[in-house]
Structure 1
């Protein structure tokens, strides 16, 4: 859909309705309506890849790895502060990496103790990006 070939297999465990069309018919319709093509397929492809990456991370990466991958993706380079609202509170981090608040807190405290991050007044500052990103 986004120009990159990728073999993926999905299974739906809930009752669902599916709309399908032969790929050639869909491509023809999109060729005849290029304003739709330029918006729909790249958008859908990006979101499918994000979902696939999330599921892969949840399945194969431990909590520490998921946390260490999340923090560098969400910082403002100039200030080394997290760029999401409220500096990614623990609850939001737990939702983003699929963990519990207690485990995220434990890992954040380890990062704080080794000097990688600084936490103050519900704000977080990345002190050592190289340690986190490696």
Structure 2
């Protein structure tokens, strides 16, 4: 966040098994990011020296940890390029696509695509995730509802027209599939 402007950006929405502030582990410098818990959680904390020892002494840890770090860096790269190159509507559509739950889709009737995790967030938080503000996110979500792309309200969204959402996002199936597989592998 920027204390001068009050603007914020959400870099990651973390879940079970995720690590926070990995950059400090890599370079040893303080990091200005802050974590906010949306739900009650249990947190495992370890001194930086201990984690570095794990990296050096346990190849099995590295086989899980290094791909995770790579995934985090790729997500940061995607966020940076999306913020620089896409409009808010496209960024919001991509965010929604990344949070479609393929497991719930299999069990859901009528080919609807349930959205997980972000459906519980308020529009201000969604704005922080796509580099925008609550009012703009609200306007785009209302447009998606009017167009028949998305249905539901806070807590429960389903995508009714996946192709239209992909079109709005400018996403190819290859990229969407890769993003979903990466997210699934992390959890």
TM-score between both structures, scaled by the size of structure 2: 0.49
Question: Whose RCO is larger (CA < 8 A, sep 6+)?
Answer: 2
Confirm whether residue 98 of structure 1 aligns to residue 131 of structure 2.
Answer: yes
Q: Contact conserved, 1:87 with 1:124, CA < 8 A, in 2?
A: no
Confirm whether residue 48 of structure 1 aligns to residue 48 of structure 2.
Answer: no
Tell me how large the CA RMSD over aligned residues is. Answer: 2.6
Query: Which of 75, 79, 82 pairs up with 2:115?
Result: 82
| Closer/same/farther in 2, CA of residues 36 and 75 from structure 1, 3 Å limit | closer
Q: How many residues align?
A: 108
Q: Contact conserved, 1:94 with 1:101, CA < 8 A, in 2?
A: yes
CA distance in 1, matches of 2:158, 2:58: 47
CA distance in 2, matches of 1:53, 1:121: 26
Gaps of 5+ in 2: 1-26, 29-54, 168-187
CA distance in 1, matches of 2:126, 2:133: 9
